[in-house]
């Protein structure tokens, strides 16, 4: 059944209707798109031409094309290939200057055994139709195969070659060198084929070498997997049976017989093998994917054996040739060394004699120069010695020693007299200063009957107004301390006459100032001439406020340096 026409480059709708046309449109009839054909009246009364709708014409053309051209093969070159996510394929077949739009459903694309690419020449089998919505003529392909006599396998092979080449598996830089002296050779081939016999025969002739055969099928559908397994078995052998190089191949045959060596999995197994691999598949003209991936390619299994093991006779000949060349080289070298030794001995003798003469002349010149230098230094040292002796005689200390001793004794006597006079002068001044210091000492003032008054917080009391009845006061005396309680406080009264207090003048002499200043009640304070001191009298709590005699007061001295204590 033909599929319904679809737009080129868009996902095709589900097939429906014969010839790719919806069943409702099998036979054109009246519809919203087409008005019924009408006979146009000619101006003279004759009937006019019949008018057709677009849908009617396209449907008619589609049915006519389907009846006239059933499914057929079309050959052309692929261009404008589009492979959307739906899995369908849309492309153009070109040839002879013409182009044909082609659509292939996803189910048909999945059946292809090769990859669609631009530039391919294909034979496509399908039905021609017209896409109604666009009126476009196109081919709906069911199958496709390579054209031009090239089979599908050949196309697959070329695509695989390009893909592996892009991955670098054919690159010469990846190929590994073969070991020059393999201890053991591994062979992957059929145990009953001619390849293994050819390999063994060549090895026996050239260089007997142990061979480890890993058998596998070399043709048929199971051959690629067996070849890969056999290759991996050889690569996994360890110990004394481990091989140094592997030969994989078979004898000649048809393309179908050799096709197992074009398998992608086998190619990747050869590339991943940790040992060098020599591929020998078919004859001289046969080149497989395995040949291109292997480290070395041999035209035949026999040539592979020749590449792997050295030729014993050739080695013997090369060894004999090397021996002859070595002997001749040693002889020539010995002669050359003898001649060079003789020449060097003569040159060495002449060079030694010249060196001795040159060194003797250098020694003579150096000896003469040293003698002249020593004589000049001796003369210079003698002249310097004479000059120093003259200076020593001129500055002999023994001549001045008596004068210096007399002057020293005179200075000693003067020093003693000056010390005694200075001591006698400073002793009275020291006594006066000691007396002044004792007069100004707070402890001396306390010794004369004064007291230092502080409250509970340790503050110095200067005014009776600073305390209240019941306050506890501490009195510091010359010897010991007292704690008293305030019974009463009184206002300021005229201060009693105090004895003069010594003061220090500007030059340190003692001064007396008898002026008194009234303070708070019960305290008469006087500021002395000495800065930082004040004298006051504190009346006892039980005394008459009018009594001003000295006997009713304690004497105290306040040092301003303790105000903040």
| 481 CB-near residues (< 8 Å, 6+ apart) | 474, 475
Residue 374 lies in a domain: no
pLDDT confidence of residue 392: 81
Q: Whole-angstrom Cα distance, residue 529 to residue 111?
A: 133
Say if 22 falls within a structural domain.
yes
pLDDT tens column, 402-427: 788 888 889 999 999 998 899 988 88
- Do 478 and 532 reside in the same domain of the chain? yes
Show which of 150, 168, 189 is a domain's final residue: 150
Rounded Cα–Cα distance for residues 349 and 342 (Å): 11
Q: What is the DSSP string of 241-300?
A: G--SEEEEEE----HHHHGGGG-HHHHHHHHH-SS-EEEEESSTT---HHHHHSSEE-SS
Is the pLDDT score of 8 beyond 70?
A: no
Enclosing H/E stretch for 152? helix 152-166
pLDDT of 285 higher than 70: no
181 with 303, same domain?
A: yes
236 and 284 within one domain:
yes
What lies within 8 Å, CB to CB, of 450 at 6+ separation is: 535, 554, 555, 556, 557
277-281 vs 296-297, strand pairing mode: parallel
Q: Residue 260: pLDDT above 80?
A: yes
Q: Rounded to whole angstroms, how far apart are CA atoms 239 and 237? A: 7
User: Domain span at residue 339?
Assistant: 320-361
Are 332 and 305 found together in one domain?
A: no
Q: Do 77 and 105 reside in the same domain of the chain?
A: yes
- Domain of 262: which CATH number? 3.40.50.261
E-strand ranges in 157-244 read 185-189, 211-215
Residue 281 and residue 183 share a domain: yes
530 falls within a domain: yes
Q: What is the pLDDT of residues 475-526, one digit of tens each?
A: 888 888 888 998 888 865 555 544 444 444 444 444 444 333 333 333 333 3
Domain count, the chain: 4
The answer as to whether 408 is a domain residue is no
In a shared domain, residues 179 and 288: yes
Do 246 and 223 fall into the same domain?
yes
List the CATH number of the domain containing 140.
2.40.50.140
Task: Check pLDDT > 70 for residue 152.
Answer: no
Which of 150, 179, 206 is the endpoint of a domain?
A: 150
CB 217 within 8 A of CB 226: yes
Position 556 in a domain: yes
Q: For residue 563, which phi and psi values (nearest 5 degrees)?
A: -60, -40
The residue from 361, 378, 394 where one domain ends is 361
Q: Does pLDDT of 328 surpass 50?
A: yes
**Is residue 332 a part of any domain in this protein?**
yes
pLDDT score of 65:
83
Within this chain, do residues 182 and 263 fall inside the same structural domain, yes or no? yes
- Do 294 and 276 meet the contact criterion of CB atoms below 8 Å apart? no
pLDDT tens digits, one per residue of 342-393: 888 888 888 888 999 999 999 999 999 999 999 999 999 999 998 888 888 7
Same domain, 463 and 499: yes
Q: Verify that 504 and 548 share a domain, yes or no.
A: yes
Exposure class string for 194-228: b at 16+ Cβ within 10 A, else e: ebbebbbebbeebbebebebbbbbbbeeebbebbb
| pLDDT given for residue 477 in this prediction | 87
Whether residues 304 and 164 fall in one domain: yes
Q: Which tens digit of pLDDT belongs to each residue from 91-115?
A: 989 888 788 999 999 999 999 988 8
């Amino acid at each position: 059944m033909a599929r319904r026409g679809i737009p080129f480059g868009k996902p095709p709708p589900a097939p429906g209707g014969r010839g790719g046309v919806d069943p409702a449109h099998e036979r054109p009839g009246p519809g919203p798109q087409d008005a019924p054909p009408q006979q146009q009246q000619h101006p003279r009364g004759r009937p006019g031409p019949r008018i057709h709708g677009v849908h009617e014409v396209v449907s008619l053309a589609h049915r006519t094309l389907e009846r006239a051209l059933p499914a057929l093969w079309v050959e052309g070159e692929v261009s404008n290939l589009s492979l959307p996510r739906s899995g369908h394929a849309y492309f153009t077949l070109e040839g002879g200057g013409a182009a044909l739009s082609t659509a292939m459903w996803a189910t048909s694309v999945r059946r292809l055994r090769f990859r669609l690419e631009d530039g391919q020449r294909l034979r496509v089998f399908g039905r021609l139709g017209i896409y109604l919505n666009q009126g476009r003529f196109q081919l709906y392909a069911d199958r496709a195969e390579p054209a031009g006599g090239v089979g599908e396998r050949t196309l697959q092979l070329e695509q695989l070659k390009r893909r592996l080449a892009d991955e670098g598996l054919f690159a010469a830089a990846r190929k590994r060198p073969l070991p020059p002296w393999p201890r053991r050779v591994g062979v992957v081939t059929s145990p009953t084929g001619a390849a293994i016999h050819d390999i063994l025969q060549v090895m026996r002739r050239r260089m007997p070498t142990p061979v480890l055969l890993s058998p596998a099928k070399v043709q048929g559908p199971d051959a690629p997997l067996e070849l890969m397994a056999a290759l991996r078995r050889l690569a996994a052998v360890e110990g004394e049976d481990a091989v140094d190089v592997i030969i994989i191949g078979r004898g000649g045959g048809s393309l179908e017989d050799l096709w197992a060596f074009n398998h992608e999995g086998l190619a990747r197994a050869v590339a991943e093998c940790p040992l060098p691999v020599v591929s020998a598949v078919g004859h001289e003209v046969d080149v497989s994917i395995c040949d291109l991936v292997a480290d070395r390619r041999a035209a035949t299994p026999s040539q592979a054996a020749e590449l792997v093991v050295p030729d014993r006779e050739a080695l013997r000949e090369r060894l004999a040739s090397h021996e002859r060349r070595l002997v001749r080289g040693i002889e020539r070298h010995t002669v050359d060394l003898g001649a060079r030794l003789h020449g060097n001995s003569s040159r060495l003798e002449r060079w030694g004699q010249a060196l001795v003469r040159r060194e003797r002349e250098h020694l003579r010149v150096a000896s003469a120069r040293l003698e002249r230098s020593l004589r000049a230094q001796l003369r210079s040292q003698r002249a310097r010695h004479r000059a120093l002796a003259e200076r020593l005689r001129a500055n002999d200390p023994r001549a001045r020693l008596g004068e210096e001793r007399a002057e020293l004794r005179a200075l000693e006597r003067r020093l003693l007299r000056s010390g005694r006079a200075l001591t006698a002068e400073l002793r009275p001044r020291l006594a006066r200063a000691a007396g002044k210091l004792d007069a100004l000492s707070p402890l001396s003032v306390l010794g004369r009957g004064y007291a230092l008054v502080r409250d509970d917080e340790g503050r110095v009391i200067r005014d009776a107004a600073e305390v209240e009845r019941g306050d506890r006061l501490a009195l510091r005396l010359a010897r010991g301390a007292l704690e008293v309680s305030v019974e009463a406080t009184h206002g300021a009264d005229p201060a009693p006459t105090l004895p003069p207090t010594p003061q220090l003048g500007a030059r340190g002499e003692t001064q007396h100032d008898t002026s008194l200043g009234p303070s708070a009640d019960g305290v008469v304070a006087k500021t002395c001439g000495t800065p930082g001191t004040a004298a006051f009298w504190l009346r006892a709590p039980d005394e008459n406020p009018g009594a001003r005699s000295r006997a009713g007061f304690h004497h105290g001295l306040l040092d301003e340096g303790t105000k903040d204590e």
